[in-house]
Structure 1
């Protein structure tokens, strides 16, 4: 008797067959026919190819050795094709879509001028122009990565990589012993973010939504204002200690206090990150939801990442390395550019360098403000200032400590007073939790006052140099 078995075996069959049938079936359909004439109930076909019957072998057959080799070859070919297409698409999106990328060639030109020309003014100028599109593209890659991390982590990433340019420039200057350039560039980054970047965001959003008062999370703004005031406190005491001549050990106490305060500020900033990431509700959701309700959920739904997560990470690494190279040329040419252009180093460090470094914050903050997402704009601008003051400055003090450089928190009286007044002005404008174009205009005008002040300001540590230079220029 032969045929297909569907688990209804004749009861007169051998006991072993009955034992086999009584087991819970592992397969619903047995595709292979076999003879029932054998003593143990198994056919010759079953002995010849046992994999046709047993369930374990059926599952193993698709992953045989030959099958793996042929599948991997096809998959590898597809992956190679996809990687090439993804590479060219990513290259086109990152390097050829933004109009500001027309400044990209100035970076290689700066490298050529540094090797074949002795004019440091041109090297500085070309490096400055070359860093601008790199900083903006760094912000773009960060925004693309933020699609995969969520808005809260995205705001932190924007602030972190937005400040990468300033930190890279500061570390290169610290290696060369240019402590005042480090201090003034970090101070200028805080002032630029708080006044210029936030002012442009408020002004642009107020112009787009002229008949509507934009709102943001007042609680998050208050927390950031408190951290900025704590940073001012950390910078103020070494200055007061220095100018009142009340140090126990002249020069040493001031440096020791700066290093101790820097460690405290780093702990405070780490606690703030834990608070923002774990304990605090997502401060970006209310504004995003409100924007969806007001605009019919048309703009936000259409926002999709243009590059993948790993492509964004790769571009972040490439752009950071290229910025680091140009920053080296930029820092080395600062003094030569100051002498050839007759511009104080303080103005270059506080005004010109931060404007270049904050290109990413400028673009991000204005873009989100024009989409009525002021919480993200505030997280980029004020969050970036908080990160520089509570992490960037203490980090440079600790790095200088490791390098043997006497980097401290004594930013001189003029610079510390400027920062203190700026924090107070911004804190008063943020206390209502609303924004309009007039507040943005006020912040931008305040930044013009600060820029003019540093243009006529002479650094006390370089006072003799500038007095001699001014005397020589008057003779000419």
Structure 2
């Protein structure tokens, strides 16, 4: 969710090309009475136009996507919490209700990127693309559930790199069975380097803790985590400049067999809604996700007890699958259209954003809230991340993919999921 799926080469200099409101203002200048106020016919016309714009926008954002059939699960979770109180049911209903909201949030961000240009659009995607995971993490931090935050963010990285990318490689390989699909190798190498840097940031606090070599017990580990988080945020900011400004050409997609008309069709796409409509939907959807996330976080412990499932499995496997639902579908769709660079950006780009922005951001937020969130993800989780990054980096070296590489990644994810199902978190005890 966290990348620009459609690369825009031309900035939109005039919003009036896409905004029906500005079009009406050009063609129908409002008549005023002698006292300077709008006349009643024009006031009525403006009201009717506003209503039609709202209905049109709701039709595009809400009714257009079939995934929005799952929206009633959200209100159902709130009603069950209020009248029934079964936390296991509240958790699963909240989980299902967040899926369409997360997908529509990505859609609204995509629409806004048409108007902002590539640089600001990239920042918006970094901020809102993984908004679901970050909102859940902030509510968990407020509740003091540091391990849930760590494991859900870790799970998002693992899910994107193994499950999402694996399904994209596998489905694309099945569709294009007799050839190997290619992607931009240079961009993949840069992202792999950033992911290894993130592993380094998480590895040293864990090693410091388990070797008992802290200069000040209980303080050095937290201080190192906060310092490393600031460095990682700085590195991610530099990466945005590198990707979207100074070395933009490095991220041009590989389009070996595409005709000129196919290559330019992506740039000619127009937004479905106006800029202010997109901003309004971002606010509304973020608020809805925030409400459901609070119910979701509160029900995690109860769901773990009622289902007999470890909290670590819920945090690492179930929560990230919901947050990555939209990315999962998009990556597969683009891979089946032989647009593997976009699929790679969806999967690996989102993992990079979570590891270099999401995790350090939560450490800083915890610092502000007075919560001792650190980068010590425990040895088990850190080992899972290290081996995942290593496997994916090796498979990306050649710049090609096929169905067997995708199958390997999916099977690796199944091993990871099984490992966390039998893993007992030493801090949570479940």
Contact kept? 2:201, 2:228, Cα under 8 Å:
yes
Match of residue 447 from structure 1:
413
Deviation at 1:149, TM superposition (A): 4.1
Question: Within the alignment, does 1:165 sit opposite 2:107 as a pair?
Answer: no
Gaps of 5+ in 1: 1-61, 467-476
Q: Match for residue 178 of structure 1? A: 145
Aligned position for 1:278: 245
1:22-80 Cα offsets, whole Å, 9 max, x none, are xxxxxxxxxxxxxxxxxxxxxxxxxxxxxxxxxxxxxxxx9997699699877655543
1:148 aligns with 115
Call closer, same or farther: CA 1:295–1:274 in 2, change over 3 Å.
closer
Q: Residue 55 of structure 1 aligns with which residue?
A: none
Shift of 1:152: 6.6
Matches within 5 A, 1:176-255: 176-255=143-222
1:391 to 349, 357, 362: 357
Q: 1:267-298 deviations in whole A, cap 9, x for unaligned?
A: 111111111121012455444x6564187569
Give 1:95's match in structure 2, choosing from 44, 62, 76: 62
Displacement after TM superposition at 1:100 (Å): 1.6
Show the counterpart of 1:405.
371
TM-score, structure 1 as length reference = 0.79
CA spacing shift, 1:296–1:335, aligned 2, 3 Å? closer
CA offset at residue 307 of structure 1? 1.9
Mapped partners of 2:322, 2:31: distance in 1: 59
Asked if the contact 2:243–2:251 (Cα under 8 Å) also holds between the matched residues in 1, the reply is no
Consecutive unaligned residues of structure 2, counting only runs of 5 or more, are 1-28
1:83: Cα distance to partner? 2.6
SS in 1 for 2:332: helix
Matched, 1:358 2:324: yes
- Tell whether the 8 Å contact from 1:292 to 1:298 is kept in structure 2 after alignment: no
Which of 78, 86, 93 pairs up with 1:111? 78
Aligned residue among 420, 427, 430 for 2:386 = 420
1:108–1:251: structure 2 CA closer, same or farther, 3 Å change rule?
same
SS in 2 for 1:461: coil
Decide whether the 8 Å contact of 2:148 with 2:315 is kept in 1.
yes
* Cα distance change of structure 1 residues 443 and 156 upon mapping to structure 2, 3 Å threshold: farther
Equivalent residue for 1:338?
A: 304
| TM-score, normalised via structure 2 length | 0.87
Change (3 A) 1:296 1:71: same
**Counterpart pick for 1:377 among 332, 343, 360:** 343
When the two chains are superposed, the root-mean-square deviation of aligned CA atoms in Å is 2.5
Determine which structure has greater relative contact order: mean sequence separation of CA pairs < 8 Å that are 6+ residues apart, divided by chain length. 2
**Cα drift, residue 366 of structure 1:** 2.1
2:408 is the alignment partner of 1:436: no
Residues 348-367 of structure 1: per-residue CA shift (max 9 Å, x gap): 00000000011121122222
Change (3 A) 1:294 1:448: farther
Q: CA 1:448–1:63 in structure 2 vs 1: closer, same or farther (change >3 Å)? A: closer
Structure showing greater Rg: 1
Counterparts of 1:123 and 1:149, CA distance in 2: 38
Contact persistence 1:202–1:435 (CA under 8 A): yes
Which whole-Å deviations, capped at 9, do the CAs of 1:417-454 have from their partners, x for residues lacking one?
A: 00000000010111111122222121111111100000
Change (3 A) 1:334 1:71: closer
Q: CA deviation at 1:86?
A: 2.1
CA distance in 1: counterparts of 2:278 and 2:238, whole angstroms: 28
Deviation at 1:303, TM superposition (A): 4.2
Alignment CA distance shift 1:291-1:110 (3 Å) = farther
| Range with bigger deviation, 238-247 or 203-212 | 203-212
Residue pair 2:118, 2:244 contacting (<8 A) in 1 also: no
Q: SS of 1:406's equivalent?
A: coil
CA contact (8 A) 1:155 1:376 kept: no
CA distance in structure 2 between the partners assigned to 1:201 and 1:63 by the alignment: 52
2:97 corresponding residue in structure 1: 130
Instruction: Give me the whole-angstrom Cα distance separating, in 1, the residues matched to 2:262 and 2:189.
Output: 31
Q: Structure 1 residues 82, 256: CA separation in 2 closer, same or farther (over 3 Å shift)?
A: same
Aligned-pair CA distance for 1:308: 2.1
* Deviation per residue, 1:102-148 (Å, 9 max, x gap): 11101001111111122111111110111111111112222222333
> Could you tell me how far apart the structure 2 residues matched to 1:387 and 1:339 are?
32
Q: Hey, what's the Cα distance between the residues in 1 that align with 2:350 and 2:265?
A: 26
Aligned with 1:410: secondary structure? Answer: coil
Equivalent-residue separation in structure 2 for 1:364 and 1:283 (angstroms)? 22
Cα 1:211–1:312 change in 2 (3 A) is: farther
Deviation at 1:371, TM superposition (A): 2.6
User: Conserved in 1, the CA contact under 8 Å of 2:31 and 2:42?
Assistant: no
